[in-house]
Amino acid sequence: MFYRRETFKIRPEKVTKFNDYFNEYLVPNQIKNGAKLIGCWLTDTKNEILALWEYPSYEEFIKIEKRVLKDEKHEKAQSQLFKLGKPFLETRQDFLTSTGDYIPQKQNIAVSGYITNDKNETLLIKTYWRSDTWELPGGGIDEGETLDIALCREILEETGIEVKLDGVTGVYSNGNTVSIVFRGEYIGGNLKTSSETQYVRFVKIDSSNVLSYITRGKFIPRVLDAMKGNCIPHEAFKVRPYGLIKRLEGTLKKD
């Protein structure tokens, strides 16, 4: 990632006016055109305000700045600045390159898969840290991964199984973590455990015995919903310019 630090020299008595101007005119234009505001800080002497912006790369920063300057919001910002009599004395910027990823996500995103084979058995795992229950394979998403790619990778790493995904069967949230469950099919590979999984196996489960395997409350609705076979589409794409990476149309399966 590439960062721009913007420093405003300001009179203490004009802090409120500047904040109003910054939040109403500068921030919306930057965000609309692709920049991300990491934060804005006031020094203890109240004579400087620092804003830190994030961009995917220096090249993207240049493109975003061009769009910002052409946007009608920029003209409105300049007009408002004139009316306010310039609430800051001077401004300067410098550029920073991150030495690591230290900003925690506000939401953790996890994916898991209800995967069946040609015998209509379901792929289940038992991990070392949740050995009291079986569960669907899955895990977290690496930087730059789409949901479907992340899930296929996690299943292969945890179970040795290659899969084809059909669509999303449910989205679940506990406030800190969002979990997306896909439905899919076994297409290859051989069952094997990993550093995370004690056991991996295909199991014949249905509504009569599912609670014998899935014993943790948060996992039960995910499996029951996936059993129904109702899938909605999932689409992965890139922007500027728009390009479709992959689309799962969603299917209805009757087990």
Q: What is the pLDDT of residue 175?
A: 78
For residue 60, pLDDT over 80 is answered with yes
pLDDT of amino acid 155: 98
State the amino acid at position 22 in one-letter form.
F
- Identify the pLDDT of residue 240: 78
Do 184 and 125 reside in the same domain of the chain?
yes
Assess whether pLDDT exceeds 70 at residue 255: no
What pLDDT score does 1 carry? 82
Residues 126 and 238 in one domain: yes
Per-residue pLDDT band for 251 (boundaries 50, 70, 90) equals: confident
pLDDT of residue 55: 92
Q: Is residue 255 part of a domain?
A: no
- CB distance 99 to 151 below 8 Å: no
Q: What is the DSSP string of the chain?
A: -EEEEEEEEE-GGGHHHHHHHIIIIIHHHHHHTT-EEEEEEE-TTSSEEEEEEEES-HHHHHHHHHHHHHSHHHHHHHHHHHHHT-SEEEEEEEEEE-SS-----SSEEEEEEEEE-TT--EEEEEESTTTT--B--EEE--TT--HHHHHHHHHHHHHSEEEEEEEEEEEEE-SSEEEEEEEEEEEEE-----SSEEEEEEE---TTTHHHH--STTTHHHHHHHHTTB-B-EEEEETTTTEEEEEE---B---
**Are residues 243 and 182 both part of a single domain?**
yes
Same-domain pairing of 38 and 164: no
pLDDT digits (tens, 9 = 90+) for 197-234: 999 999 999 999 999 999 999 999 999 999 999 999 99
Q: What percent of the chain has pLDDT over 90?
A: 77
In a domain, 130, yes or no: yes
253 within a domain of the structure (yes/no): no
**113 and 51 share one domain:** no
pLDDT (0 to 100) of residue 109: 92
d(CA 128, CA 248): 32
pLDDT confidence bin for 103, thresholds 50/70/90: low
Which residue matches tokens 């590439």? 2
Q: Are residues 92 and 215 in the same domain?
A: no
Q: Which CATH number goes with the domain that contains 149?
A: 3.90.79.10
227 & 197 share domain: yes
Region 1-5: mean pLDDT is 92
Highest mean pLDDT among 26-35, 98-107, 152-161: 152-161
Which range, 138-142, 164-168, 251-255, has the best average confidence (pLDDT)? 164-168
Let me know whether 133 and 235 are in one domain. yes
- Shared domain for 126 and 208, answered yes or no, is yes
**60 and 121 inside one domain:** no
Domain boundary among 77, 97, 117: 97
User: What range does the domain containing 9 cover?
Assistant: 2-97
**Are 81 and 173 part of one and the same domain?**
no
Length of the chain: 255
Using the predicted structure, report yes or no on whether residue 144 has a pLDDT greater than 70: yes
Tell if the pTM clears 0.85, that is, is over it: no
Q: How many domains does the chain have?
A: 2
- Asked whether residue 81 is domain-assigned, the answer is yes
